[in-house]
């Protein structure tokens, strides 16, 4: 990797700054990366280096100067600031001087906290960096405290600002639509600003995901190139701002979207930004993804190192049309299929306005008595009898106007008081800035768990973004709502986590709306997309895998795209957290038998697929085939998936060259999970051969797939 060092430039501002600190350096390292922040003669702090770790720590001394680490509004800089504070006297400038820093140990690494202070106003900015050694992951967040006697207004308050100086920059963002998420688009960055942001309020994503890849010097490839990969841990509006200046230097500013979010801070009050999480790789996107996957499992995702449950979901099998008898049969189906859990989806609640479609009942969380006369308890009892776990769908942050909750508490709804209501999927968002609403949302889970302690899982949905923004609770502080909504949500989730620490939950938001690493602190998994067409899923899972491990990506076998065989659909879903959302009785006996065998195969391979290293070998974006490999951490076992999507007539096929194996080991390679249940021939190859020559695993049959295991002898 080249050194992304910002050339020093002299600034000789006078100021009340202790000479002791001048030339002091803050060095933050992981196993492979190093960041150097240097205190200038003027007491201000500069990013002098961010790149490969230097072998000799003494070499860092040669790195001085650079760009100011957290550039402020209203001073000498001509480009986008990280911080913009409006003071009560009308002064919109901030000047930050280094006061000191602390380093503490955290699991897997260190936390470095750098304190900066504005001498004129006393405002304090703490830059918090966490560095995870083995995974080479950094996180950055900021704590801003009003040190003056009067309130201040925060207009811009980034989590992170990073500076780069490369000859060229190539930004890849992952944008799309509902059911067409995470399509990569790469563009060069030239002079000026490019922003990637969302304004959806109750979720991060619908049109663009909260992560990016930035090729430094050249577009990042899968296995080569210098690349910064970053994502924001925030379940709301985010913004990444990339600005190339007149000298070709790039600043990357990441944080909450400041759009309609000016925050007033009272004297002494502190605002803490969410974490920007990032890594640098000099071996392309693949290595960066594996850094994220390891870090996420070890340090971020709820029960990241734990196992996951396979499931049968009833959503696409029944939609709203079910009763107790039908559900009991489905619980039996789950047992017969061999999955771990039955998940009851939307449609089980509300009585005055029963939830028989998506236009009524949301907000009224009592079982619909004519559907479930014996309540959820009869279903958890049935699940227990059958020996499967029971999971339940909820959408606790939302309300249908046709509901008792709305009739009783219209004041709890986010909607403009003097304009017509606007409904997204016939519903409105509850005002989680209001502590009473937080109590209510917490009570939905708490009441269900108290009444039915055998509920083993929740699917937490959230279908409407915030529109027509107005909170009755916040009154004059309407600009606080976007941020306070998300903080209110986290308060609720903290309370749930404290009371039910071992309760697994899926984060769902009408497709992949909530796919962010702060949400995943509270959730064991997420729903990447409502699109379960297996061909589309090859692309969607590929997209999310850039920063999220397989373990958190729920992948369900459904009836979408019946042109694809059940095997093709199952194999795609096996590359995620496997589930079924299908009426088993629509399957032929052979298909059903195949599904049952697949669940057994998946269970045997689960540790490799969910916890191994993922290698994206052949991209679905690159042609008519796709291939992904998972390798166990000790390299003894690997699973290889190969898909032929729409091959051309007489297409020339190429071997798939594997990765991550032990070159010295001999692997027995066997095709498993065949549609007819037959056994494949076992052949032996060295790891060296497999990683140099590869295997002929593609075919010219449309929509066909194969799964191979590799076992070291």
Q: What is the CB neighbour count within 10 angstroms for residue 686?
A: 16
Name the token pair of 590: 């052979």
Rounded Cα gap, residues 6 and 230, in angstroms = 20
Share of the chain residues as helix, strand and coil, in percent rounded to the nearest 5: 25, 35, 45
Rounded Cα gap, residues 194 and 244, in angstroms = 9
| 461 counts as binding ligand DGJ under rule CB under 6 A | yes
Minimum distance from residue 20 beta carbon to ligand DGJ (Å): 57
CB nearer ligand DGJ, residue 340 or residue 530: 530
Spell out the residues 6+ positions from residue 1 whose beta carbon is closer than 8 angstroms to its own: 51, 52, 226, 280, 282
Minimum distance from residue 330 beta carbon to ligand DGJ (Å): 15
| 511 counts as binding ligand DGJ under rule CB under 6 A | yes
CB nearer ligand DGJ, residue 80 or residue 525: 525
| 346 counts as binding ligand DGJ under rule CB under 6 A | yes
Verify whether residue 461 is a known catalytic residue: yes
Name the token pair of 589: 């006996």
Catalytic choice (530, 533, 601, 644): 530
| 431 counts as binding ligand DGJ under rule CB under 6 A | no
Contacts with ligand DGJ by CB under 6 A: the residue count is: 12
| 463 counts as binding ligand DGJ under rule CB under 6 A | yes
CB nearer ligand DGJ, residue 242 or residue 544: 544
List 123, 333, 530, 536, residue binding ligand DGJ (CB under 6 A): 530
| 527 counts as binding ligand DGJ under rule CB under 6 A | yes
Q: HEC profile for 185-237?
A: EEEECCEEEEEEECCCCCCCCCCEEEEEEEEECCCCCCCCEEEEEEEEECCCC
| 365 counts as binding ligand DGJ under rule CB under 6 A | no
Any idea which residue has 């010097």 for tokens? 217
Rounded Cα gap, residues 225 and 215, in angstroms = 7
| 510 counts as binding ligand DGJ under rule CB under 6 A | yes
| 580 counts as binding ligand DGJ under rule CB under 6 A | no
Verify whether residue 340 is a known catalytic residue: no
For CA atoms 175, 177, 178, 184, the dihedral sign is negative
CB nearer ligand DGJ, residue 207 or residue 271: 207
Asked whether 38 and 25 are in contact (CB, 8 A), the reply is yes
Rounded Cα gap, residues 297 and 659, in angstroms = 21
Minimum distance from residue 257 beta carbon to ligand DGJ (Å): 24
| 257 counts as binding ligand DGJ under rule CB under 6 A | no
* First vs last C-alpha separation in the chain: 37
CB nearer ligand DGJ, residue 35 or residue 344: 344
| 210 counts as binding ligand DGJ under rule CB under 6 A | no
| 466 counts as binding ligand DGJ under rule CB under 6 A | no
List 324, 345, 364, 518, residue binding ligand DGJ (CB under 6 A): 345
Catalytic choice (461, 484, 601, 644): 461
Q: What is the DSSP letter of 480?
A: G
Asked whether 666 and 658 are in contact (CB, 8 A), the reply is no
Residue 57, phi-psi category: left (phi > 0), alpha (psi -120 to 50), beta (remainder)? alpha
Stretch that binds ligand DGJ, among 180-188, 503-511, 560-568, 662-670 (CB under 6 A): 503-511
* Strand 33-39 to 109-117 pairing: unpaired
Stretch that binds ligand DGJ, among 137-145, 505-513, 616-624, 667-675 (CB under 6 A): 505-513
List 95, 216, 508, 557, residue binding ligand DGJ (CB under 6 A): 508
Any idea which residue has 């075919």 for tokens? 699
Site track 281-320 with ligand DGJ (rule: CB under 6 A), x = hit: ----------------------------------x-----
Rounded Cα gap, residues 297 and 649, in angstroms = 42
CB nearer ligand DGJ, residue 315 or residue 685: 315
Rounded Cα gap, residues 598 and 570, in angstroms = 8
CB nearer ligand DGJ, residue 80 or residue 530: 530
CB nearer ligand DGJ, residue 299 or residue 393: 393
Interacting residues toward ligand DGJ by CB under 6 A: 315, 345-346, 358, 393, 461, 463, 508, 510-511, 527, 530
Tell me which residues are annotated as active site.
461, 530
């Amino acid at each position: 990797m080249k050194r992304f060092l910002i050339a020093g430039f002299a600034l000789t501002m006078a100021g009340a700054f202790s000479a002791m600190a001048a030339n002091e350096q803050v060095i933050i390292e992981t196993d492979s990366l190093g960041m150097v922040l240097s205190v200038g003669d003027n007491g201000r702090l500069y990013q002098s280096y961010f790149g490969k770790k230097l072998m000799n720590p003494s070499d860092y001394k040669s790195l001085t100067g650079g760009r100011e680490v957290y550039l402020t509004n209203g001073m000498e800089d001509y480009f986008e600031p990280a911080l913009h504070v409006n003071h009560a006297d009308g002064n919109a400038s901030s000047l930050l001087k280094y006061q000191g820093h602390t380093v503490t140990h955290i699991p897997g690494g260190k936390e470095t906290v750098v304190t900066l202070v504005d001498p004129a106003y006393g405002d304090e900015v703490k830059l918090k960096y966490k560095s995870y050694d083995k995974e080479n992951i950094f996180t950055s967040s900021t704590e801003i405290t009003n040190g003056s006697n009067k309130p201040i207004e925060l207009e811009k308050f980034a989590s992170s600002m990073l500076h780069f100086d490369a000859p060229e920059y190539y930004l890849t963002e992952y944008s799309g639509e509902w059911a067409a998420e995470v399509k990569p688009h790469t563009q060069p960055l030239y002079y000026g600003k490019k922003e990637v942001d969302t304004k959806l309020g109750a979720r991060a994503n619908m049109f663009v995901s909260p992560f990016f890849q930035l090729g430094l010097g050249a577009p990042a490839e899968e296995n080569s190139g210098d690349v910064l990969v970053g994502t924001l841990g925030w379940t709301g509006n985010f913004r990444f701002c990339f600005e190339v200046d007149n000298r070709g230097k790039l600043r990357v500013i990441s944080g909450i979207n400041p759009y309609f979010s000016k925050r007033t801070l009272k004297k002494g009050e502190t605002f803490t930004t969410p974490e920007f999480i990032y890594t640098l790789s000099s071996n392309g996107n693949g290595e960066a993804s594996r850094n994220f996957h390891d870090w996420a499992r070890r340090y971020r995702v709820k029960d990241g190192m734990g196992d996951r449950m396979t499931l049968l979901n009833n959503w696409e099998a029944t939609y709203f049309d079910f009763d107790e008898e039908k559900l009991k049969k489905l619980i039996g189906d789950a047992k017969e299929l061999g999955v771990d859990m039955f998940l009851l989806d939307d449609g089980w609640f509300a009585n005055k306005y029963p939830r028989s479609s998506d236009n009524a009942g949301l907000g009224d969380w009592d079982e619909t008595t004519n559907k479930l006369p014996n309540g959820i308890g009869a279903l958890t009892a049935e699940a227990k009898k059958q020996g499967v776990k029971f999971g339940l769908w909820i959408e606790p942050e939302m309300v249908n106007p046709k509901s008792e909750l709305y009739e009783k508490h219209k004041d709890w709804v986010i909607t403009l008081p003097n304009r017509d209501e606007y409904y997204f999927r016939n519903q409105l968002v509850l005002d989680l800035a209001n502590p009473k609403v937080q109590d209510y949302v917490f009570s939905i889970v708490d009441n269900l768990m108290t009444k039915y302690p055998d509920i083993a899982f929740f699917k937490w949905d959230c279908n409407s973004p915030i529109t027509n923004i107005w909170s009755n609770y916040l009154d004059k502080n309407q600009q606080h709502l976007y941020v306070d909504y998300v903080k209110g949500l986290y308060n609720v989730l903290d309370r749930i986590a404290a009371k039910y620490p071992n309760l697994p939950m899926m984060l769902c938001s009408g497709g992949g709306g909530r796919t962010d690493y702060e949400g995943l602190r509270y959730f064991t998994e997420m729903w990447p997309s409502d699109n379960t067409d297996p061909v589309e899923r090859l692309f969607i899972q590929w997209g999310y895998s850039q920063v999220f491990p397989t373990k958190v990506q729920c992948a369900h076998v459904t009836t979408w795209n019946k042109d694809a065989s059940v095997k093709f659909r199952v194999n795609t879903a096996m590359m995620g957290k496997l589930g079924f959302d299908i009426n088993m009785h629509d399957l032929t006996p052979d298909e059903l038998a195949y599904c049952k065998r697949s669940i057994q195969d998946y269970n045997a391979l689960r540790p490799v697929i969910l916890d191994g290293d993922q290698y994206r070998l052949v991209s679905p974006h690159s042609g008519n085939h796709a291939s992904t490999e998972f390798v166990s951490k000790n390299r003894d076992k690997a699973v290889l998936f190969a898909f032929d999507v729409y091959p051309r007539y007489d297409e020339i096929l190429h071997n798939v060259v594997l990765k991550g194996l032990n070159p010295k080991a001999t692997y027995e390679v066997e095709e498993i999970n065949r549609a007819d249940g037959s056994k494949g021939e076992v052949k032996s190859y060295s790891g060296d051969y497999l990683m140099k020559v590869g295997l002929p695993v593609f075919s010219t049959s449309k929509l066909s797939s194969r799964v191979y295991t590799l076992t070291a002898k």
